[in-house]
Amino acid sequence: MASKTPFYILVGILIVVGLALTIQRHVAYEVPWTPGVKRTVWSVDAKVEFNANGESVKASLATPMSQPGFTVLHQNAASPGYGLNFIEQNNTPRAEWSIREANGGQELFYKVQLLEDENLELAALGVPPQLDIPEFKEPYSIAASQMTEKVTARSADAFSYTRELLKEFDRKDLSQNAELLLEGNSNQAHLIVRLLNLAEIEARLVGGLTLEDGRRRQHLQPYIQVFQNSDWLLFDPRTGKEADRTNLLLWEQSGTSLLDLVGGSDSVVTFSMIKQDQPAMMAVKEKINSQDLLNFSIQSLPIEEQALFKGILLIPFGVLVVVLMRVIVGLKTSGTFMPVLIAMAFIQTSLLTGLIGFLVVVGTGLVIRSYLSRLNLLLVSRISAVIIMVILMIGLFSVVSYKVGLSEGLKITFFPMIILSWTIERMSVLWEEEGPKEVMLQGGGSLIVAILAYIAMNNEYVRHLTFNFLGLQLIIMALVLMLGNYTGYRLLELRRFKPLAED
């Protein structure tokens, strides 16, 4: 057994280095061990993409300011070759990039860190916009004034007026006036603001972003801010009701444009965001020692990649669960790491929706697959047919559940389709050869392991630790290596060999 010594040294080194890295991060960067004791900091990245025309380019992006719920900690922007200025224009801050000459696809990044807090600062939000009575052209002006009359009759003040007006546009059977107005003005939110202004109500469009951890490629949603004397309310034109303001960041507050671009075309602004749990102390510290090369952590990556890594860094933990269940317990699973992938999908869909979706797709798949098996197809074409079938099924379920009003059903698209197809194929062959009992055994085993992996990976503490302490990955590695050396009995073998032990 002499050959085992280097192995144990390696495992030892992994554990020591892993622990050292983890403790160093805790001590030096004050990253807490538990997710509870800190403030939430949102990092939001805005990515501006456009095609430059080959001339000088000037791009100006509206940037957020402190507002109820959020305090801007610090902001920066990255874009090689561009000159950058943070300016203030009509009470709103903007980031302005400029370059003498640019050609082809351009990418500009703006990053802001916001502390979630009970800030009450109103900034530009509290200042009502200047009222500018709009003029509607014929034939729209008659429709607009008729609608104003109708809504005025049913309302008492600016807020009830807005509600009634939104109702006019949020009905299945639109009135002729509403239809005509929409025809002339395709941007519904903008139209509503104009109609409000027509009734001499101070209102403007603001751009809001619903913050949700790890979301990428999001767009600003228009909201309507309506004033009544010094009070104001925010309405969501999509629901026709007052907007839900939890986690809603008002990125653009003064009714101006999000992006002004000179010298470019086809511009898109997308947002990625990530929730970080940092002590408020650390947020301040970060401001002081801006960039530190030794600060080796995922947090130094762009937000979009960070969001990606948040998921990736959980995989080793899920894998550890699979190894434990197979080596120590002895559960059978269909496909070694299929349970981890299913667990990853469960994280996106939530457990119950995921389980139902998985069972429905695999169950239906097995029924259809049993027909395919009678067609004498070659293996590769059969699997391909199963893949297409799975995609069609997922599409069908999404549409049906959406029509029925279950938006949860849409999440079924998070399932890894190729993995589902192989699962169906394997289960189907297993069914034919070994009977339904073995299918239940292996399918059940896979699902149990997937659920356990899901519970482990979805744990708040696990998510916090894996994302903030990279050193833990080395420790998991050491554990997996040690488990690879375990030659003791599996839990299920203790049961299996029970009759032997009794002789």
Among 84, 327, 462, 470, binds another protein (CB under 8 A): 327
User: Which C-beta is closer to another protein: that of 285 or that of 495?
Assistant: 495
SS3 460: helix
Using alpha carbons, select from 461, 483, 498, 459 the residue that is nearest to residue 7: 483
Q: Tell me the closest approach of the beta carbon of residue 438 to another protein, in angstroms.
A: 8
Q: Tell me the closest approach of the beta carbon of residue 209 to another protein, in angstroms.
A: 46
Q: Tell me the closest approach of the beta carbon of residue 21 to another protein, in angstroms.
A: 30
Q: How far is the C-alpha of 167 from the C-alpha of 183, rounded, in Å?
A: 17
Q: Tell me the closest approach of the beta carbon of residue 16 to another protein, in angstroms.
A: 25
Q: Tell me the closest approach of the beta carbon of residue 383 to another protein, in angstroms.
A: 9
Phi, psi of 104, rounded to the nearest 5 degrees = 80, -165
Q: What is the amino acid identity at position 245?
A: R
Q: Tell me the closest approach of the beta carbon of residue 18 to another protein, in angstroms.
A: 24
Among 34, 434, 460, 461, binds another protein (CB under 8 A): 434
User: Which C-beta is closer to another protein: that of 402 or that of 489?
Assistant: 489
Q: Tell me the closest approach of the beta carbon of residue 339 to another protein, in angstroms.
A: 19
User: Which C-beta is closer to another protein: that of 28 or that of 429?
Assistant: 429
Residue 499 binding another protein, by CB under 8 A: yes
List Cβ neighbours of 19 (8 Å cut-off, separation of 6 or more): 471, 475
Using alpha carbons, select from 188, 202, 191 the residue that is nearest to residue 132: 202
Q: How far is the C-alpha of 315 from the C-alpha of 319, rounded, in Å?
A: 6
Using alpha carbons, select from 182, 184, 176 the residue that is nearest to residue 137: 184
Q: Tell me the closest approach of the beta carbon of residue 369 to another protein, in angstroms.
A: 13
User: Which C-beta is closer to another protein: that of 28 or that of 377?
Assistant: 377
Q: Tell me the closest approach of the beta carbon of residue 496 to another protein, in angstroms.
A: 6
What is the maximal distance between C-alpha atoms in the chain?
Answer: 99
Residue 330 binding another protein, by CB under 8 A: yes
Residue 6 binding another protein, by CB under 8 A: no
Q: 170-229: which residues touch another protein (CB under 8 A)?
A: none
β-sheet bridge partners, residue 39: 278
Residue 4 binding another protein, by CB under 8 A: no
Q: Is the dihedral of CA 354, 360, 363, 365 positive or negative?
A: negative
Q: 358-397: which residues touch another protein (CB under 8 A)?
A: 376, 378-380
User: Which C-beta is closer to another protein: that of 190 or that of 382?
Assistant: 382
Q: How far is the C-alpha of 60 from the C-alpha of 97, rounded, in Å?
A: 6
β-sheet bridge partners, residue 218: 271
Among 429, 440, 460, 461, binds another protein (CB under 8 A): 429
User: Which C-beta is closer to another protein: that of 275 or that of 426?
Assistant: 426
Q: Tell me the closest approach of the beta carbon of residue 244 to another protein, in angstroms.
A: 50
Kindly state the tokens that stand for 456. Answer: 């482990």
Cα 80 to Cα 83, 98, 99, 304, 361, distances in angstroms: 9, 11, 10, 18, 47
Q: How far is the C-alpha of 246 from the C-alpha of 195, rounded, in Å?
A: 28
Q: Tell me the closest approach of the beta carbon of residue 303 to another protein, in angstroms.
A: 40
Three-point CA angle 310, 402, 224, nearest 5°:
75
β-sheet bridge partners, residue 84: 97
User: Which C-beta is closer to another protein: that of 461 or that of 489?
Assistant: 489
Q: In what order do the strands lie in the sheet with 203-210?
A: 241-242, 231-236, 221-228, 203-210, 248-252
Neighbours of 332 (CB within 10 A): 15
Neighbours of 404 (CB within 10 A): 9
Per-residue binder mask for another protein (CB under 8 A), 464-493, x = binder: --------------------xxxxxxxx-x
Q: Tell me the closest approach of the beta carbon of residue 378 to another protein, in angstroms.
A: 5
Residue 433 binding another protein, by CB under 8 A: yes
Three-point CA angle 213, 311, 248, nearest 5°:
5
List Cβ neighbours of 459 (8 Å cut-off, separation of 6 or more): none
SS3 21: helix
User: Which C-beta is closer to another protein: that of 328 or that of 406?
Assistant: 328
Among 7, 33, 296, 497, binds another protein (CB under 8 A): 497
User: Which C-beta is closer to another protein: that of 5 or that of 246?
Assistant: 5
List Cβ neighbours of 382 (8 Å cut-off, separation of 6 or more): 372, 373, 375, 425
Residue 8 binding another protein, by CB under 8 A: no
Q: How far is the C-alpha of 286 from the C-alpha of 290, rounded, in Å?
A: 6
User: Which C-beta is closer to another protein: that of 285 or that of 437?
Assistant: 437
Among 132, 173, 266, 503, binds another protein (CB under 8 A): 503
- Count of residues of this chain found to bind another protein when the rule CB under 8 A is applied: 28
Residue 7 binding another protein, by CB under 8 A: no
User: Which C-beta is closer to another protein: that of 219 or that of 437?
Assistant: 437
Window contacting another protein (CB under 8 A); options: 82-90, 167-175, 344-352, 426-434: 426-434
Q: Is the dihedral of CA 148, 153, 157, 162 positive or negative?
A: negative
The residues that touch another protein, with contacts defined as CB under 8 A, are 327, 330, 376, 378-380, 429, 433-434, 484-491, 493-503
